[in-house]
Amino acid sequence: MKRRTVLKSSLAALVLAGAAPYGLSLFGREPLLSKAHASNRVPITPLPIPPLLENLDKSGKTARFAMEAQRGVMDFFPGKPTSTFGYNGNFLGPTIRVRNGQRFSMSAKNSLGQTTTLHWHGLHVPAQWDGGPRQPIADGSTWKPEFTIRQEAATLWYHPHAMGLTGEQVYNGLAGLFYIEDEFSDSLDIPKNYGVDDIPLVIQDRRFFSNGQFAYTQNMHDVMNGVIGNHMLVNGALRPSLSVHAGLLRLRLLNGSNSSIYRIAFKDQRTFKVIASDGGFLEHPVAMNSIVLSAGERAEIILDLGGAAVEEELILLVDQMKGSRFEAMRIKVGSPAESNAALPSDLRPLDRIPESEASIIRGFTMETMAMGGGRMGMGMMGRRLTINGKKMDINRIDEQVKLSSTEIWEITNQSVMMMSMPHSMHLHDVQFQILSRNGQTPPHEQGRKDTVLIMPGETVRIISRFRDYTGVYMYHCHLLEHEDDGMMGQFKVIS
């Protein structure tokens, strides 16, 4: 009896010190819902497909949209309603589809009861309409960005980006896809029937309290490692199943998680072809049987189900780098598709940016530092997540970039020993090209990118052109708990 009390109180001390391992009751009295709870209690449901956002310009000449960030409720677990956020709905948002060259306008209403922003991740956009932390939308007000789309076909996304609130608001459900199409993507002979053979997959892990609410409570461990979930959602569903024809299937993958790094594969190890990265098509399809996406990254893949037996069932596997394996989704193969076109072997010629075009090389160090020892030992040891030794300060411009110039950025993940963790570097405004990752570039990373995984000890060199727009933009770690903790800086494009 006595011994138990002692044990209990030392555990309590550990919890206070923020050093309790993940999975213990860090959250007061409320335990977490176990992973098994989903497979035991949640029925398999058809994969939800986010609706395409309706263009208010009926002629389709311009792209005129309206969205509202609002509160909602979802029944992820039967009988345990979860309070959520969504755009025009309970969870996540509609898919926005625009064309290169189109005039775009959005009326974005904030009905959340707290400040938010609406950021176009991956979009080349004037700084004042970027939707980053410099463009807050106060509760109850409406933000009306308007600009022209100047960008090739790509699978981008949108999410809130208010200072210190990004992680929690995305966790609650604020995110959606943003497709750009153009003449090239129209003409390419690949699946493009939205929701039929061209399927958006927003992949996100979550953890829940046993009462069904999201467990987005952060202790120091969560800030450092990110809030890593033990349940996997695809398009907001826990155990989704997708029925498709036997033919080519295009999956547009978004790692929409807060801080997880995913290795995505199929249970039977089958090969698929990667056709696009963050910023658009690759030059040629790249055959792989698994792909790693850090938080914020996208990839488009093609599965050839032409030879699949009717009723064959594939399982999409998602492995968390720090966590477990999930059978995230089933794909049921039905009757043959009408067309059985083969995937073209040439996709889009890449406008490669030559290294010689760069006028400057900048160095960035993403660092995880341990500070002091503290009188309570490891648990109380302060840690700092920084870029070039600094934390985000909205009143400070970290880098000045000349308009119309080309720059090389060398980004190093300096985390060492016990503090080592991956980071996911993201730049606003530009789609860059990876020059090298530790001296090499894997073929599926040779297209345009806006977010890049940087493992401990790695250096990634990227090159980008800063065109068209002046103003202040962000660069940051896309692990949202790191970003909210200040692992972010600002660059100003000046004329």
How far apart, in whole angstroms, are the C-alpha atoms of residue 478 and residue 444?
20
Which parts of 94-196 are beta strand (E)?
96-99, 103-110, 119-121, 142-143, 146-148, 154-159, 176-181
Q: In sequence order, what are the residues at sequence separation of 6 or more whose Cβ sits closer than 8 angstroms to the Cβ of residue 375?
A: none
Q: Smaller CB distance to Cu ion: residue 47 or 180? A: 180
Q: Could you tell me which residues are beta bridge partners of residue 472? A: 492
Query: How far apart are the C-alpha atoms of 233 and 74, rounded to whole Å?
Result: 12
Applying CB under 6 A, the span of 70-78, 200-208, 334-342, 472-480 interacting with ligand C2O comes to 472-480
Round to whole Å and give the CA distance between 215 and 180. 34
Q: How far apart are CA 183 and CA 279, in angstroms?
A: 16
- Burial label for 464, CB within 10 Å (0-12, 13-18, 19+), is buried
Q: Which does 273 bind (CB under 5 to 8 A by kind): Cu ion, ligand C2O, none?
A: none
Contact mark string toward ligand C2O, 109..138, x via CB under 6 A: ----------x-x----------x------
Q: Which one, 80 or 391, has the nearer CB to ligand C2O?
A: 391
Positions in 421-440 near Cu ion (CB under 5 A): 423, 428
- Cα 274 versus chain centre, distance: 18
262 or 272: CB nearest ligand C2O = 262
Specify the amino acid at residue 192: K
Q: Which does 161 bind (CB under 5 to 8 A by kind): ligand C2O, Cu ion, none?
A: ligand C2O
428 versus 461: smaller Cβ distance to Cu ion? 428
Query: Which partner, ligand C2O, Cu ion, none, binds residue 299 by CB below 5 to 8 Å per kind?
Result: none
Alpha helices in 199-273 (DSSP H): 220-225
Nearest to 264 by CA among 294, 285, 244, 236: 294
Q: Which of 471, 454, 470 is nearest to 462 (CA)?
A: 454
Rule CB under 6 A: is residue 479 a binding residue for ligand C2O?
no
According to the binding rule CB under 6 A, does residue 476 interact with ligand C2O? yes
Give me the least distance between CB of 1 and Cu ion, in Å please.
Answer: 45
Site stretch for Cu ion (CB under 5 A), options 63-71, 191-199, 242-250, 415-423: 415-423
298 is a site residue for ligand C2O (CB under 6 A): no
How near is the Cβ of 484 to ligand C2O at its closest, in Å? 11
Size of the site for ligand C2O (CB under 6 A): 11
Tokens of 492: 């100003």
Pairing of β 313-320 and β 262-266: antiparallel
> Going by C-beta distance under 8 Å and a sequence separation of 6 or more, which residues neighbour residue 200?
49, 50, 95, 155, 177, 194, 235, 252, 254
User: Which x/- pattern, by CB under 6 A, does the window 390-429 give for ligand C2O?
Assistant: ------------------------------------x-x-
Considering the complex, state which of residue 284 and residue 492 has its C-beta at the smaller distance from ligand C2O: 492
Decide if residue 298 touches Cu ion (CB under 5 A).
no
User: Of residues 428-467, which lie at the interface with ligand C2O (CB under 6 A)?
Assistant: 428
- The smaller minimum CB distance to Cu ion, of residues 423 and 437, is found at 423
Cα angle, residue 127 at apex, residues 300 and 180 outer, rounded to 5°: 25
- Contacting range for Cu ion; rule: CB under 5 A; set: 74-82, 117-125, 431-439, 441-449: 117-125
- Check residue 121 for interaction with Cu ion (CB under 5 A): yes
89 burial level (CB within 10 Å; 0-12, 13-18, 19+): buried
Beta bridge partners of 397: none
> Which of 109, 231, 348, 482 touches Cu ion (CB under 5 A)?
482
User: Is residue 479 at the binding interface for Cu ion, with CB under 5 A as the rule?
Assistant: yes
Q: Figure out which of the listed residues 145, 191, 279, 296 binds ligand C2O, where binding follows CB under 6 A.
A: 296
We find the least distance from the C-beta atom of residue 373 to ligand C2O, in angstroms, to be 34
Q: Which residues contact 187 (CB under 8 A, 6 or more apart)?
A: none
Of positions 242, 248, 460, 477, contacts Cu ion by CB under 5 A? 477
Q: Which is nearer to ligand C2O, 224 or 474 (CB)?
A: 474
Do the beta carbons of residue 308 and residue 333 sit within 8 Å? yes
Between residues 152 and 485, which has the closer beta carbon with respect to Cu ion? 485
The two tokens of residue 84 are 């959520």
Which spans of this chain sit near Cu ion (rule: CB under 5 A)? 121, 423, 428, 477, 479, 482
Which spans of this chain sit near ligand C2O (rule: CB under 6 A)? 119, 121, 132, 159, 161, 296, 426, 428, 474, 476, 478
